[in-house]
Amino acid sequence: MKSTWKIALLATVMGILTLFYLGLGVDTRYIPSPLLDKPAFPFSAEGLDGKGPVVLEAKPGKWVLVNFWGSWCVSCVAEHPYLMELARKTRDRSDFAMIGVDFRDTREGGLRFLSRHGDPGYRHAFDPEQRIAIDWGVYGAPESFLVDPQGTIRLKRAGPLYPGWFEQEAMPLIQGMPP
């Protein structure tokens, strides 16, 4: 065997092993959204509470977290305490607001979910036919989007938000772009 072949063989083996080593830390479930850094679809939809429309539009100086959920979704129950906490913590911030979108759901189901697990206080759009969810490319629940004051989607997370998400992922963006 020529020495070039020997080196090539060992280099290939080492290369594949290194790749696996690096690959072990990669979260294979993380999928970036093609909507990232694209303008968000504005919507104006009937509120889950029945008290007039819930509107998403670009407002100067205001970041909006849009959270898609449904009463049929088990992970949403797990996520809910953090949403409650986040809403309480950010109630007084002028640069941050939250909107829920209850999709593929019945009104009774959605309201029962809120009365059972607690009402975080912000408003929810009611989207039984998934019009908003389809526009936003939502394929599971929960999914959350962070929209900046210009109306651009800056963050997307498929799956529940975790405690500390706001400080770790949202704050750097919000502070990096002062109102």
Partner 1 sequence: MWIEIAHFATIAALLVALTQIAAPLVGITLGRPVWIRVGRQAAFTSAALLTLACAGLILSFLKHDFSVAYVADHASLDLPIFYLATAMWGGHEGSLLLWAWFLSLFIAFAAWRHWRTHPLSIPYVLAILGTVLAGFLLLVIFLSSPFERMLPPPPDGRDLNPLLQDPGMVFHPPFLYMGYVGFGIPYAFAMAALLTGRVEEEWILATRRWTLFSWAMLTTGIVFGAYWAYYELGWGGYWAWDPVENASFMPWLTATAFLHSVMVQERRQLFKTWNLFLITTTFALSLLGTFLVRSGVLSSVHAFANDPGRGVYILVFMAVLLLFSFGLLVAKADSLKVEARLESPLSRESAFLFNNLFLLVATATVLLGTLYPLAIETLTEAKVSVGSPYYNKVFIPIMLGLLLLMGVGPVIPWRRVDRTRLLRALLVPTLAGIGATALALGMGIAHPYGVATAALIGFVAVSHGRDFIAALRARTGRSGDSILLAPFRLIGRNKRRYGGFVVHVGILVMAAGFIGSGLFQEEQDLLMKVGDSTTLGRWRLTFTGIGQVSRHNWDAVEASFVVEGPGGQLLLKPQKRQYHRNDMPTTEAAIHSTWREDLYIVLGDRVDDRWAIRCYRNPLIVWIWWGAGLMALGVVVSLGQGRGLKRRDS
Nearer to partner 1, 22 or 178 (CB): 22
Q: Which two tokens stand for residue 44?
A: 């104006």
Of 124 and 156, nearer to partner 1 (C-beta) is: 156
How many amino acids of this chain bind partner 1 (CB under 8 A)? 19
Give whichever of 28 and 115 is closer to partner 1, judged by the CB atom: 28
Of 90 and 106, which has the nearer Cβ to partner 1?
106
CB atoms within 10 A of CB 151: 16
Instruction: Tell the smallest beta-carbon distance from residue 34 to partner 1 (Å).
Output: 10
Torsion angle (degrees, nearest 10) of CA 79, 81, 84, 90? -80
Q: Residue 40: how many CA atoms within 13 Å on its side-chain side? A: 28
CB of 115 to partner 1, least distance (A): 24
Tell me the β-bridge partners of 101.
68, 125
What is the contact mask toward partner 1 in residues 8 to 47, using x (rule: CB under 8 A)?
-xx--x--xx-xxxxxxxx-xx-xx---------------
User: What ranges in the chain are assigned the alpha helix state H?
Assistant: 3-23, 74-89, 107-117, 131-135, 165, 171-176
What's the CA gap between 56 and 113, in Å, rounded?
Answer: 23
Name the residues that contact partner 1, by CB under 8 A. 1, 6, 9-10, 13, 16-17, 19-26, 28-29, 31-32
